[in-house]
Structure 1
Amino acid sequence: MAGEAQDNIWPLPKFYFKVEVDGGIAASFQEVSGLDIESDVFEYRHGDSPNFSTIKMPGLRKSSDVTLKKGIFTGDVKFFEWFNEIKLNTIERKTVTIMLLNESGDSEIVWTLANAFPKQVQGTDLNSTSSDAAVETLVLAHEGLTVSTP
């Protein structure tokens, strides 16, 4: 019945999240993608193996670039400024924390990007016949993704 406590456990909705970038850059994002990790797989067979096949072994782990999209606001050029700091491999790398929140606003799942830096900043497309909001895209390269719970 309506108003009763639910005993069932439901998956968390994906629309309530928060992104924090250390060093004072904070923004509300519309979309985050690329939160995946994978491992290279290599095949090996030693010479005296009785099996007529290879075995598969895990190799180095790798993470995808993370893409963040957000609306453009008046005077908001923080990500372009961060990108413009890149000069001959001298960029301030930052820790980026992405938190999936519950209905109370508390984090349930936390993805942390280590040593992240902007790989690409893409401004919005402009179209005089559209009524869409202006959205910019930030692509972050990083050196590792960890997933944790608080």
Structure 2
Amino acid sequence: MAGEVEDNVWPLPKFRFEVDFGSELKGIAFQEVSGMDAEVQIIEYRHSNSPLFSAIKMPGIAKYSNVTMKRGVFVNDNTFWNWMNEIKMNTIKRRTVLIRLLDESGKVTMLWTLNNAWPTKITSTDLKSDGNEVAVDTIEIAHEQIVVTNGG
């Protein structure tokens, strides 16, 4: 009918989300998540008897950016530092990381799955004697694949 507005005509707000880092780390609240990028490298090829003086472009290897997450520092919570300390020469506990975008009722509207994820860098908060900001740690995570799905 004329004048009716469908539920799915508005873009999703991005401020309500949660992150799961496996079975023991569910529903972690973060201040910010960024770097969920995917790119396919281009392979250029021209065979010798081509009548065109240009290359054929084909898709190559998929490449994924590291995902950066920021969250507040909490008392007696060294979870990310413990995960980072598990790294030994070519040995790391890889995890499946789930990033969920939630609607106003808390239902999942978008889900980003990072497969075979592991921490590459942790940046601890800066300390200032005259500051009044919240202490925030930053973790950077490498992964081998990102899968995006709708709903949950």
Normalised to the residue count of structure 2, the TM-score between the two structures is 0.91
Instruction: Identify the residue that residue 95 of structure 2 maps to in structure 1.
Output: 94
Describe the SS at the equivalent of 2:50.
coil
1:7, CA displacement in angstroms? 3.9
1:25, CA displacement in angstroms? 2.0
The number of equivalent residue pairs is 146
1:6, CA displacement in angstroms? 4.5
**AA paired with 1:81?**
N
Instruction: Identify the residue that residue 117 of structure 1 maps to in structure 2.
Output: 118
1:143, CA displacement in angstroms? 1.1
Question: Are 2:44 and 1:43 aligned?
Answer: yes
Instruction: Identify the residue that residue 59 of structure 2 maps to in structure 1.
Output: 58
User: For the residues of structure 2 that align with 1:6 and 1:124, how far apart are their CA atoms?
Assistant: 45
Instruction: Identify the residue that residue 128 of structure 2 maps to in structure 1.
Output: 127
User: For the residues of structure 2 that align with 1:97 and 1:147, how far apart are their CA atoms?
Assistant: 10
Asked whether the equivalents of residues 23 and 94 of structure 1 are also in contact (C-alpha less than 8 Å), the reply is no
User: For the residues of structure 2 that align with 1:24 and 1:43, how far apart are their CA atoms?
Assistant: 45
Question: Are 2:20 and 1:16 aligned?
Answer: no
Question: Are 2:60 and 1:72 aligned?
Answer: no
Describe the SS at the equivalent of 1:25.
coil
**AA paired with 2:80?**
F
1:32, CA displacement in angstroms? 0.2
User: For the residues of structure 1 that align with 2:132 and 2:97, how far apart are their CA atoms?
Assistant: 32
1:111, CA displacement in angstroms? 0.4
**AA paired with 2:14?**
K
User: For the residues of structure 2 that align with 1:43 and 1:89, how far apart are their CA atoms?
Assistant: 33
User: For the residues of structure 2 that align with 1:104 and 1:111, how far apart are their CA atoms?
Assistant: 19
Tell me how large the CA RMSD over aligned residues is: 1.3
Identity across the alignment (%): 49
User: For the residues of structure 1 that align with 2:108 and 2:141, how far apart are their CA atoms?
Assistant: 22
**AA paired with 1:66?**
V
**AA paired with 2:100?**
M
Q: Deviations over 1:101-147 (max 9, x none)?
A: 11111111110000111111111011112111000001111111111
Describe the SS at the equivalent of 1:75.
coil
Asked whether the equivalents of residues 100 and 110 of structure 1 are also in contact (C-alpha less than 8 Å), the reply is yes
Asked whether the equivalents of residues 17 and 99 of structure 1 are also in contact (C-alpha less than 8 Å), the reply is yes
